[in-house]
Structure 1
Amino acid sequence: MSVMTAADHRIPQNHADTLATPTDYASGKVYETYRWLRANQPFGVAKIEGIDPFWVATRHADILEISRQNDLFHSGDRSPTLTTQAMDKRVREMMGGSPHLLRTLVQMDAPDHPKYRALTQGWFMPQNLRGLEDRIRKIARAAVDKMAALGGECDFVNEVALHYPLHVIMTILGVPESDEPRMLKLTQELFGAADPELGRQGEAGAPQVGAGAATEEPQMDFGVIIDFSNYFRALSEDRRKNPTDDLATIIANSQIDGQPISDLEAMSYYIIVAAAGHDTTSSSVGGAMWALAERPKELAKLRADPSLIPGLVDESIRWTTPVKTFMRTATQDTELAGRKIGKNDWIMLCYASGNRDEAVFEAPDDFRVDRKPNRHLAFGYGAHLCLGQHLAKMEMRILWEELIPRLKSVELAGEPRMSEAVFVNGPKRLPIRFTLA
């Protein structure tokens, strides 16, 4: 294939705008754009008013290739989430030139990334998680019993899916159960900043840019981060004085190269574990129930053969793909998919598109609990492979092991709704009617 330049591969404006419009992720319109791009412009350039131009990777193979080359495509050189030029300027002014309000694993590259990842990695490995299984199963049973007490009808997202993984990760982190509602609200405000129902619609709102596209200007809301940090700073001080066996104690007392980690890095670590540690799992649980409510034959397969539950877990993660996009930055001039990429070029990895790639998945728009193989990209790939993937899959497996044998039937009892977000989105409302044994 001949090497082409960015100018030759501009994405049509209507599709470019969709990639930056939170409501198009909520409505599912973005999947139409993904389908068009995979077929016609799988690695093109989006130009949107108010946003720096960026490459868009929509094919499974290209996303894998970029994710594999962590030295060539960095997470920390520019914002790893889509942001406007105005927001980027504002953040850099606040943060002394850094493009990041937080400094989590997401914003790090080697040599820092592996050092900071190692601080908590042991907690999330399968051999350690096995010791938590009984504790998590007890939480799952309580969630199913709560659902049973709701009388055959509920909003599954707001009454079940949001609270189960939240309770699990807060138990591991060391946050008291009484503070879980606060953690849930802050997480929704963090990831749902552009959603009028979830975000803090304060000073900035969700401004319009380009031809009808809206990016999440308040995507990393300053007030939310301050509130998160104030909470975890107090928790951190307590764990330094009174260490226990929880994850907060590990973070509070962490050192890198013999020095305590900075306040910014500690608060960032707490926030990413607290927020990402449950939000993406609850989205996948909600997505699975939504799919089963519309496909009674898939539920029948699971009830007849519970050994398919791990398949349900992977399919729900592929189907929902809660983390829709991440941005990477080229560290030098290079070439990918026959295109010339320049040093410092920004690239959007569209995981939800890669997870519907016809070249990899048979009938990708079908929901199949028995799909094999299922090489989804929802946890990322390479050095940034999701730290909590084993915990997330175990939580979902245990919940469905407790729920599926009792779930005789389920159907929609109203219109489900997705959250409005370009970065992380999932079901925010799921009214269902069900019969539990």
Structure 2
Amino acid sequence: MSDTIQQDWDPRAESVLNDQIAAYDDIRGRCPVAFSDYLQWSLFRHEDVRRVLNDHETFSNAASRHLSVPNAMDPPEHSHFRQLIEPYFGPDAMRVFAPQCWAIAERVVGRLPVDGDVEAMTEMGQDFALEIQCAFMGWPTRLHEPLRAWVKRQQDATLAGDRQRLGELALEFDGVIREQLESRRALGDAAPVDVTTQIMNETVKGRSLSDEEIVSILRNWTVGELGTISASIGILMNYLALNPELQARLRVEPSLLSAAIDEILRVDAPLMSNRRITTRPVEIGGRHIAAGERLTLLWGSANRDEAVFGNADEVRLDRNPKDNLLYGAGVHVCPGAPLARMELEFFIKALLEATVELAPIAERPAIRALYPAGGYSAVPLKVRRQQA
């Protein structure tokens, strides 16, 4: 059916890619459920996106051609794996990881120049994402640079739309994970007691996890986070540099950091979209959509919907957090949200404690990332450190 539908917009048009957020704001008011050959049915409104998130029977998460545990699963299968995964991000697990998380945040921030320029995405965001994710997984530090190179190759292949190369890179990353599994099996009882080893010993519905399931879980915990954590840090650092009043307030009121971070990332999405597939014919946003059609949920639009947030660009720390779809909603809400929130809060806290000023560089403005990435590809900033 979708082959015969006229395009409402072109997500790859230069005018859209140059400023995704402005383009989405415009389309949301004119065509809130819009069709394109590239993304099929794109949902721009908060109301429609939330409806999809809360109706997993009509809007299935099983939209991937590859095994994705539990992201591309629906209840009841999703529920079994979700129950297995959630303790890894529960309060006890976060308390255990917190000291190491804080130490890494301080170490990465400690590399800032005393008084000079920094590129927030690569020098801060990517460094922190690589180090923090390897530490959480229990992976060796020798993987930092190979993974950095892998992320760059993946970004290039994504922008080029090179599906064959993306498939090769996925297999390459799976190989990194399998190497970690094999090394632990070779060590037997002497294997490190870490997240990776623990997942290897989990069971679901009375059976051991297959290697394919283990690899899928660990891939979801690493590949996605390497991109979204670094994107988030770039967005946050850029926003604070451009808004010195909020920057100053957060330096003296760090208790506001959590709300401020979620609100800034609502305004400027680090993750632009997610997918669903319809299981039956449905009408949404005034459009009739057949069964088996692909939907693209545009977080970068829904979280800026003026019907919910009024002036979407206004960072307000008193907003109802339940309206913020930064980590999704419903049964598929991101299980790793507690970890991501702790990582970002610790990083920004360490950053503000170590510096007296973050400022933009007028002649070198931040460069926006291109879809499917959110945030920026480069964020040059001026930084002044606290004097010892």
Describe how 1:38-437 pairs up with structure 2 within 5 A. 38-44=28-34, 46-48=35-37, 51=38, 54-76=40-62, 78-79=63-64, 99-100=65-66, 102-148=67-113, 151-195=115-159, 206=160, 216-218=161-163, 221-242=166-187, 243-366=191-314, 368=315, 370-374=317-321, 375-413=323-361, 414-422=364-372, 424-437=373-386
Question: Please, which of 37, 43, 55 is the counterpart of residue 27 of structure 2?
Answer: 37
Matched-pair contact (CA < 8 Å) for 2:2–2:293: no
Give the structure-2-normalised TM-score.
0.89
Q: Measure the CA separation in 1 of the matches of 2:307 and 2:122.
A: 36
Give the total of aligned pairs: 380
- 1:158 Cα offset (Å): 1.0
Q: Measure the CA separation in 2 of the matches of 1:359 and 1:326.
A: 21
SS at match of 1:236: helix
Q: Measure the CA separation in 1 of the matches of 2:21 and 2:121.
A: 22
Cα separation, partners in 2 of 1:6 and 1:178, compared to 1, 3 Å: closer
Q: Is the aligned partner of 1:27 residue 2:18?
A: yes
Cα separation, partners in 2 of 1:421 and 1:40, compared to 1, 3 Å: closer
Per-residue CA distance 1:291-334 (angstroms, 9 max, x = gap): 11222222122224222211221123213322211121111123
- 1:408 Cα offset (Å): 1.7
Q: Measure the CA separation in 1 of the matches of 2:113 and 2:43.
A: 43
Cα separation, partners in 2 of 1:397 and 1:25, compared to 1, 3 Å: farther
- 1:64 Cα offset (Å): 0.5
Matched-pair contact (CA < 8 Å) for 2:59–2:277: yes
Cα separation, partners in 2 of 1:272 and 1:365, compared to 1, 3 Å: same
Over 4 Å off, 4+ runs: 5-11, 23-26
Q: Measure the CA separation in 1 of the matches of 2:72 and 2:3.
A: 29
Per-residue CA distance 1:22-47 (angstroms, 9 max, x = gap): x666532x223322222121123x13
- 1:11 Cα offset (Å): 5.4
Give the structure-1-normalised TM-score.
0.80
Matched-pair contact (CA < 8 Å) for 1:288–1:312: no
Matched-pair contact (CA < 8 Å) for 2:158–2:166: no
Select the structure that is richer in helix: 2
Cα separation, partners in 2 of 1:143 and 1:57, compared to 1, 3 Å: same
Matched-pair contact (CA < 8 Å) for 1:240–1:252: no
SS at match of 1:433: strand
Cα separation, partners in 2 of 1:58 and 1:222, compared to 1, 3 Å: same
Matched-pair contact (CA < 8 Å) for 2:110–2:354: no
SS at match of 2:118: strand
Q: Measure the CA separation in 2 of the matches of 1:120 and 1:338.
A: 37
Matched-pair contact (CA < 8 Å) for 1:191–1:220: no
Structure 1: 5+ residue stretches without partners = 80-98, 196-205, 207-215
Matched-pair contact (CA < 8 Å) for 1:281–1:392: yes
Matched-pair contact (CA < 8 Å) for 1:334–1:342: yes
Structure 2: 5+ residue stretches without partners = none
Instruction: Give the letter for the 2:181 counterpart.
Output: S
Q: Measure the CA separation in 2 of the matches of 1:307 and 1:230.
A: 41
Cα separation, partners in 2 of 1:339 and 1:421, compared to 1, 3 Å: closer
Matched-pair contact (CA < 8 Å) for 1:6–1:340: no
Matched-pair contact (CA < 8 Å) for 2:134–2:141: yes
CA RMSD of aligned residues (A): 2.6
- 1:381 Cα offset (Å): 1.2
Q: Measure the CA separation in 1 of the matches of 2:375 and 2:155.
A: 10
Cα separation, partners in 2 of 1:421 and 1:263, compared to 1, 3 Å: farther
- 1:7 Cα offset (Å): 11
- 1:369 Cα offset (Å): 6.1
Matched-pair contact (CA < 8 Å) for 1:191–1:425: no
Instruction: Give the letter for the 1:352 counterpart.
Output: G
Q: Measure the CA separation in 1 of the matches of 2:226 and 2:69.
A: 16
Cα separation, partners in 2 of 1:369 and 1:220, compared to 1, 3 Å: farther
- 1:421 Cα offset (Å): 3.0
Cα separation, partners in 2 of 1:105 and 1:220, compared to 1, 3 Å: farther
SS at match of 2:74: coil
Matched-pair contact (CA < 8 Å) for 2:231–2:374: yes
Q: Measure the CA separation in 2 of the matches of 1:119 and 1:43.
A: 35
**Does 388-397 or 223-232 show the bigger shift?**
223-232
Matched-pair contact (CA < 8 Å) for 1:43–1:55: yes
